[in-house]
């Protein structure tokens, strides 16, 4: 077992990362060396990557983010109503962040089925799929396509092929 000199929240055993236990369960192998905070020198290239954010402006990015999450919520309400999904995100813009939480009893294998189709959601135990469209590069058409994929996954039950996969937070 690797004994890390500095334990961070990323150095815990991945299956227990978001359980917020008072006990520390170290990760296996090299993952026990992760601390969660990037080294300052490795962050230097980020300066160039931040230019599009500066050019667009945070207010405009937030406006588009709210428009995208609103569109995602409305599309999910219209298209996923018969498939057992519950929207867990507040509808009011002031109470909403940049992602939409969709709850379903089969969220974990559905999340993996979405990944297999090129959509990258988050899964949170026990039953949440989080979709976070990026206002800097995602389109409204991509949001619609993701909802249609999720609808097809639910209706055809194609997610069942992923049911035996361990439920990790993604």
Percent of the residues in the chain that have a pLDDT greater than 70, as a whole number: 92
Question: Is residue 73 one of the residues assigned to a domain?
Answer: yes
Closest CA to 65 of 50, 76, 53, 77: 53
- Supply the pLDDT for residue 16: 74
Question: Is residue 124 one of the residues assigned to a domain?
Answer: yes
Question: Is residue 12 one of the residues assigned to a domain?
Answer: no
Q: Three-state SS for 80?
A: helix
Residue 95: CATH number of its domain: 3.90.1150.10
**What residue numbers bound the domain in which 110 lies?**
57-162
**C-alpha triplet 124, 129, 131: angle, nearest 5°:** 120
Lowest pLDDT segment from 18-27, 46-55, 77-86, 154-163: 18-27
Q: Could you report the per-residue pLDDT of 91-117, keeping only the tens digit for each? A: 999 999 999 999 999 999 999 999 999
How many structural domains comprise the chain?
1
Query: Would you put residue 24 in left (φ > 0), alpha (ψ -120 to 50) or beta?
Result: beta
Question: Is residue 38 one of the residues assigned to a domain?
Answer: no
Interatomic CA distance for residues 93 and 118, integer angstroms: 28
Provide the CA 32 distance to its chain's centre, in angstroms: 23
Mean pLDDT of the chain: 89
Residue 1 in this model has a pLDDT that exceeds 60: no
- Supply the pLDDT for residue 61: 97
Q: Could you report the per-residue pLDDT of 30-82, keeping only the tens digit for each? A: 777 777 777 788 888 888 889 999 999 999 999 999 999 999 999 999 999 99
Closest CA to 9 of 28, 30, 34, 29: 34
Residue 5 in this model has a pLDDT that exceeds 70: no
Ranges of beta strands (E only) in the chain are 86-87, 100-103, 122-124, 128-131
- Supply the pLDDT for residue 118: 96
Going by the DSSP 8-state scheme, the letter that residue 5 receives in this structure is: S
Question: Is residue 129 one of the residues assigned to a domain?
Answer: yes
Residue 10 in this model has a pLDDT that exceeds 80: no
- Supply the pLDDT for residue 3: 65
- Supply the pLDDT for residue 13: 74
Going by the DSSP 8-state scheme, the letter that residue 18 receives in this structure is: G
């Amino acid at each position: 077992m690797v004994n890390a000199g500095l334990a961070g929240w990323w150095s815990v055993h991945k299956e227990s990362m978001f359980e917020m236990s008072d006990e520390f369960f170290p990760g296996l192998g090299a993952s026990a060396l992760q601390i969660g905070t990037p080294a300052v020198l490795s962050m230097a290239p980020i300066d160039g990557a931040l230019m599009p954010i500066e050019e667009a402006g945070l207010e405009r990015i937030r406006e588009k983010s709210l428009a995208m999450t609103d569109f995602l919520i409305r599309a999910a309400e219209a298209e996923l109503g018969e498939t057992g999904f519950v929207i867990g995100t507040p509808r009011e813009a002031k109470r909403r962040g940049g992602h939409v939480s969709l709850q379903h009893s089969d969220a974990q294998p559905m999340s993996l089925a979405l990944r297999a189709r090129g959509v990258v959601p988050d899964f949170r135990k026990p039953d949440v799929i989080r979709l976070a469209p990026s206002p800097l590069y995602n389109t409204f058409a991509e949001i619609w396509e993701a909802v249609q994929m999720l609808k097809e996954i639910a209706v055809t039950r194609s997610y069942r092929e992923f049911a035996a996969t361990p439920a990790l937070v993604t």
